[in-house]
Amino acid sequence: MARQDNTKGELKSSNQAHRAIISRGARAETFGGATGLLFEQAMAQTRMAVCLTDPRVEDDPIVFCNEAFEQLTGYSSDEVVGRNCRFLQGPDTDPGQVAKIREALKSESVVVVELLNYRKDGSTFWNTLHLGPIYNAEGELIYFFGSQWDVTDIHQSRAEEKHAKAIAREISHRMKNVFAVVGGIVNITGRSMDAREVSRKINERVQALGRSYEPTLDDAALGTIHVGQAIRSVLAPYDPEGDRIVFEGNGVRTKPNAISAIGLALHELAANATKYGALSNAAGTVTVRWHHAEDAGPVLELEWIEADGPTVDGPPPARGTGFDIAETLLKFAQGTMHKDWDPAGLRVRIAVPMQPSAGAA
């Protein structure tokens, strides 16, 4: 039976999981005996919308539906029984999903599909339908069992996440352009002022910031960024063979504003190690560890440990510009950097709050 022309309704969830099911009494006439009575009482109590169809009757009509089915669709049992389930379909229902249902009925197989259905009032909802055959003791097909679950909220969340990721990709593209423009301006300024070495160092820092963001902006749509991806991206140019820097960390995430400070600090540490530390010889290694600590609130802790490099005589006689910049950025993120000039190799501990405190810039 064709559906009425009331199909242009609003997409809305039925809050199926939270609605109470009020039994109006078992329909004992549908199934005979005590077993049938128990079945109908169980169907009256479940929040899962359920219906049974009879494939032995022409057009496979519904012969039973429970209270949850009535609440989900807006149709009463009297309006449902005797009709084929297609009356819940409408103009925006995916024909491909309907074809899967048709094939399952033909082959007497189990199928799970997700499709757009229409209520009596014309509103729509996303329905996860589980369909399967029921046989009697002689192995004869007597019913098809259908359970419906309203997944509108889940479907809308997927759509919102997809939209957010699309925006994030566009932001990523624009940020790459921004970093490229900044690099160009720095190069032009350096040439015009005969300060090519200064512009080169500035560009190295700009590129480090770009690498820390580039592979993770899709994740930024979720409000946080995967720390491990950013760390590996910043340090990749300093270990082209992939055997000098060891990464030890879990899947911790942090706010995007902390990534710029962490990324630049790691760039300065790697540049220093390449010139004077563990990466300046053929045997040295660097271990980078990070984890989420809760001792003083949610904090991202990162360790930089150099080994097998030249002996460290102590801190340099003058503070380096790179470390100054890194520490300044960390302060803006309310982070700290502690350096231990161990003779066996420089050890650095960086701590950055996962969420800035109230009133922080």
pLDDT in tens, 230-273: 888 888 888 888 899 999 987 787 776 677 778 888 888 888 89
CA dist 280 and 273 (Å) reads 6
Which carries the bigger pLDDT value, residue 343 or residue 217? 343
Instruction: For residues 215-221, give the mean pLDDT.
Output: 54
* pLDDT exceeds 60 at position 356: no
* Burial class of residue 173 (count of CB atoms within 10 Å of its CB; 0-12, 13-18, 19+): exposed
Instruction: For residues 312-336, give the mean pLDDT.
Output: 76
- 3-state DSSP call for residue 285? strand
Per cent of the chain over pLDDT 90 is 37
* pLDDT exceeds 60 at position 133: yes
* pLDDT exceeds 50 at position 26: no
- 3-state DSSP call for residue 283? coil
Predicted confidence band of residue 98 (pLDDT cuts 50, 70, 90): very high
- Helix axis angle for 152-192 and 196-213, nearest 10°, is 180
Element (H, E) at 191: helix 152-192
To the nearest whole number, what is the mean pLDDT of the chain? 78
**Per-residue pLDDT at 358:** 36
Distance of CA 249 to CAs 11, 130, 268, 290, Å? 43, 41, 20, 5
Instruction: For residues 222-230, give the mean pLDDT.
Output: 75
Instruction: For residues 51-55, give the mean pLDDT.
Output: 93
* pLDDT exceeds 60 at position 121: yes
Per cent of the chain over pLDDT 70 is 69
Residue 91: count other Cβ atoms within 10 Å of its Cβ: 10
Which carries the bigger pLDDT value, residue 250 or residue 19? 250
pLDDT tens by residue, 301-314:
999 999 999 998 87
State both tokens at 127. 């329905």
Which range has the worst mean pLDDT, 161-175, 190-204, 273-287?
Answer: 161-175
CA dist 39 and 29 (Å) reads 12
Is 69:147 a contact under the CB 8 Å cutoff?
A: no
**Per-residue pLDDT at 297:** 67
